[in-house]
Amino acid sequence: MTIYLHPKTDNALSDAYNDAFNHAEEIFVLSAFLRDWRNFTLANGCTNATLIVGKDFGITRKKALRDALVWKKKNKNKCHFFVADQISGFHPKLVMWKQDTSYFLIVGSSNLTIAAFESNYEANIRIKISIERYQEISNWITQILGLSIPVTTQWIDDYEESPNPIKKPAKLSKKTSPGLIKFNLPLFPKLAKALAERKERAFAFEDIRIEFEKEVRECAAGTTSQQHFYQWLIDNWNGAEWKFQGAGIFRHKSTKTNWQLLCNSLVISINSNSVQRDHVIQSEYDKLEQSGEVEVRQAFLTEMLCHFFPDDYPLWNKPVETWLKKIGIWKEKQRGLSAGEKYIWIAKQLRLALQQNSDYPAQNLAELDHVIWAYCDYKGWLVKT
């Protein structure tokens, strides 16, 4: 154990932070306030660097947020940057990381500020922890992620700094889980990373939502060509920050899909009211299935429904089916359903799973979908035999 008593031990805490970032394979940093940001250098082998900061009292500075966001974007997919938007009273000061086969924790009084590193009177300790303790803390961080949102340029612009803030009212208690719990949602070492990845991609969709919907509606109406729409997807969706899946759709020939027909079904689904939407989507999916003209209907349509209605519709993919089978929910009789009926059945199972686990970190089906994928991958269930 190492004790850092500032300002007595000059630069020791700053050096400890730098060392952690320089050697971590995975690192989590939680700070109640972010007033300054240093561009820490990540280890080449780092796969996950998650930063969560608070916004209470308006003490966090916009410049620090912007600097950290630039750092996050520079390091691309390995970095995740969140604000504890739904938490009033967010006050941790913690750094936790995995280095080779060891696990470490720095905890104490210091927020991410220059003053904390250089002039404040601060007390912190650095300790080596067990893998069990590391997982326990990781689970706690995952719960926090469930109440956090990705930091974006728009969020920073809307955020109000306040030199003399008024304390916000305490957070309302969480609703209780209804009925008997039948679903045990997965808890596993990579849950926090999976949740962070999906939340960021879901939020990235908001930046292009209007433009995308315009393109979809124009293709559906025939006012733009199918080739134009397909090229737009290549330029703006394939490999973009808001894409949930890999590049599988683009391994299919574009001519194997009637994009106007596919876009028309998506428009009809978007236009439908919430009461009838399940029935409408089921009908539209079956129509596409029966047409024989839409080869990528499952991958494209279900991802877009997941984007537009993240609370209600998941991606339809192998991991979701695999997980439902492994937990005994997927029954053989599902084989008798039409494709559209099967998709809506899957959506209803995942909705029920979240309703019965209201404290689970994933807050909607878009998030749960990716958590399930990561869990199946963690369990080795997706390996082809």
Based on the domain organization, do 366 and 235 belong to the same domain? Answer: yes
Q: Look up residue 168 and give its DSSP letter.
A: P
Q: Which domain holds residue 332?
A: 191-379
**CA gap 269, 286 in Å, rounded:** 13
Same domain as 219, residue 92: no
Residues 312 and 362 in one domain: yes
- Is 8 part of a structural domain of the chain? yes
Instruction: Using the 3D structure, point to which of 103, 137, 158 is the last residue of a domain.
Output: 158
Clarify whether residues 34 and 98 are in a common domain.
yes
Do 244 and 101 share a domain, yes or no? no
On whether both 235 and 349 belong to a single domain, the answer is: yes
Domain boundary among 142, 158, 174: 158
According to the model, what pLDDT value does residue 88 have?
Answer: 84
Q: What is the dihedral of CA 301, 307, 310, 313, to 10 degrees?
A: 0
Among all chains, which residue has been given the structure tokens 């340029």? 153
Same domain, 104 and 12: yes
Q: Is 34 helix (H, G, I), strand (E, B) or coil?
A: strand
Query: How far is the C-alpha of 326 from the C-alpha of 329, rounded, in Å?
Result: 8
At 141 the three-state DSSP class reads helix
Do residues 129 and 230 both lie within one domain? no
Q: What is the CATH number of the domain that holds 74?
A: 3.30.870.10
| Domains of the chain: total | 2
**Would 38 be classed as within a structural domain?**
yes
One digit per residue, the tens of pLDDT, for the chain of length 385 reads 888 887 765 668 888 888 999 999 999 999 998 988 888 899 999 999 999 999 988 889 999 999 999 999 898 888 999 999 888 888 999 999 999 999 999 998 888 777 777 677 888 889 999 999 999 999 999 999 989 999 999 899 998 888 644 444 444 344 433 334 478 899 999 999 999 999 999 999 999 999 999 999 999 999 999 999 999 999 998 878 898 887 666 666 777 889 999 999 999 999 999 889 999 999 999 999 999 888 778 888 999 999 999 999 999 888 999 999 898 887 654 667 889 999 999 999 999 999 999 889 999 999 999 999 999 999 999 876 4
Question: Which domain-ending residue is among 109, 138, 158?
Answer: 158
84 assigned to some structural domain: yes
Cis peptide before 319 (omega within 30 of 0): no
Residue 139 forms part of a structural domain: yes
Residue type, 24: A
Residue 175 lies in a domain: no
Q: What is the DSSP string of 81-112?
A: EEE-TT-SS---EEEEEEETTEEEEEEES--B
pLDDT at 12: 81
- Verify that 74 and 24 share a domain, yes or no: yes
Query: How much is the pLDDT for 167?
Result: 42
**Residue 4, pLDDT score:** 80
CA count, 13 A, side-chain hemisphere, 370 = 27
Strand partners, 51: 29, 81
What pLDDT score was predicted for residue 174?
Answer: 41
Please indicate, yes or no, if residue 213 is contained in any of the structural domains. Answer: yes
278 and 153 inside one domain: no
Q: What is the pLDDT of residue 175?
A: 42
Do 27 and 146 reside in the same domain of the chain?
Answer: yes
Q: Which residues, in sequence order, are bridge partners of residue 49? A: 27, 79
Query: Does 163 map to a domain?
Result: no
Q: What is the CA radius of gyration of the chain?
A: 23
Indicate whether 47 and 106 sit together in one domain: yes
- pLDDT value of residue 9: 58
Structure tokens belonging to residue 199: 């939340």
Q: What does the pLDDT read at residue 249?
A: 65
